[in-house]
Amino acid sequence: MDQQPSQAAKDDAGTDILRRIERLNDIGIALSAERNVNRLLEIILLGAKELTNADAGTMYSVTENYTLKFEILRTDSLGIAMGGTTGIPINFPELPLYKDGVPNLQMIAAFSALKQTTVNIPDAYEAEGFDFSGTRAFDQRTHYRSKSFLTVPLKNHENEIIGVLQLINARDTHTQEIVSFSEEYQKLAESLASQAAIALTNQKLISDLKALFESFIQAIASAIDDKSPYTGGHCHRVPVLAEMLGKAVSECDEGAMKDFNLSDEQMYELKIASWLHDCGKVVTPTEVVDKGTKLETIFDRVHLIDTRFEVLKRDMEIDLLKQKITALEAGIPLESLAALEADYHLEISRIDADREFVQETNIGGEFMSPQRQDRIRAIAKRRWIDTHGVERPFLTDNEVYNLNIPKGTITPEEREIINNHVSATIKMLDAIPFPKHLKRVPEIAGGHHEQMNGKGYPKGLTGDQMSMQARMVAIADVFEALTARDRPYKKGKPLSASLQILGFMMKDGHIDPDLFKLFIDKKIYLDYAQEYLAPEQIDQVNLEKIPGYVP
CB 464 within 8 A of CB 437: no
Query: Given a cut of 90, is residue 489 above it in pLDDT?
Result: no
Percentage of residues of the chain with pLDDT beyond 90:
60
pLDDT bin (cut points 50, 70, 90) of residue 516 is very high
Higher-confidence residue of 328 and 449: namely: 449
Checking if the pLDDT of 220 tops 90, the result is no
Least confident window among 7-16, 220-229, 318-327, 454-463: 7-16
**Whose CA is closest to 186, among 114, 112, 292?**
112
- Across residues 92-119, what is the average pLDDT? 94
DSSP-H helix ranges across 333-440: 338-363, 370-380, 397-403, 412-430
Over range 503-530, report the average pLDDT.
95
351-355: Cβ within 8 A, 24+ apart: 351/309, 351/312, 351/313, 351/316, 352/309, 354/309, 354/379, 354/382, 355/305, 355/306, 355/309
Please tell me the least confidently modeled range out of 29-33, 408-412, 530-534.
29-33
Torsion of CA 149, 153, 154, 160, to 10 degrees: 170
Q: Which fold has domain 14-206?
A: Beta-Lactamase (3.30.450)
Q: What is the pLDDT averaged over residues 517-525? A: 94
pLDDT at 1: 43
Angle between helices 513-521 and 495-507 (to 10 degrees): 160
Here the contacts of 372-378 (C-beta below 8 Å, separation 24 or greater) are 373/404, 373/406, 376/400, 376/403, 376/404, 377/404
pLDDT per residue as tens digits for the range 185-217: 899 888 888 888 888 888 888 888 888 988 988
pLDDT at 449 over 80: yes
pLDDT exceeds 80 at position 227: no
Which whole-number Å values give the CA distances from 394 to 215, 388, 411, in the listed order? 52, 15, 21
Cα–Cα distances in angstroms (integers) from residue 40 to residues 59, 165, 199, in the given order: 11, 13, 8
3-state secondary structure of 488: coil
Model confidence at 521: pLDDT above 90: yes
Please compute the mean of the pLDDT values over residues 473-484 and round it to a whole number: 94
pLDDT tens readout for residues 17-74: 666 666 766 766 666 666 677 787 888 888 889 889 999 999 999 999 999 999 999 9
Name the pairing type of β-strands 80-83 and 54-62: unpaired
Q: Does 228-280+440-545 carry CATH code 3.30.360.10?
A: no
- 14 or 475: which carries more pLDDT confidence? 475
Q: What is the pLDDT of residues 231-287, one digit of tens each?
A: 668 888 999 999 999 999 999 888 788 888 899 899 999 999 999 999 888 888 878
Q: Which whole number is the average pLDDT over 416-441? A: 91
Lowest mean pLDDT among 199-208, 384-393, 521-530: 199-208
Q: Based on C-alpha coordinates, what's the Rg of the chain?
A: 38
The C-alpha atoms of residue 7 and residue 524 are separated, in whole angstroms, by: 72
Q: What is the mean pLDDT of the chain?
A: 88
Q: What is the per-residue pLDDT across 160-178, written as a single tens digit (0 to 9) for each?
A: 898 999 999 999 888 899 9
Q: Where are the beta strands (DSSP E) in 159-210?
A: 161-171, 178-179
**What does the pLDDT look like over 316-368, one tens digit per residue?**
999 989 988 888 888 888 787 888 889 999 999 999 999 999 999 998 877 89
**Residue 412 β-bridge partners:** none
In a 3-state reduction of DSSP, which class is residue 465?
Answer: helix
Cis bond upstream, residue 458 (ω within 30): yes
Residue 17 is predicted with a pLDDT of: 64
pTM of the model: 0.70
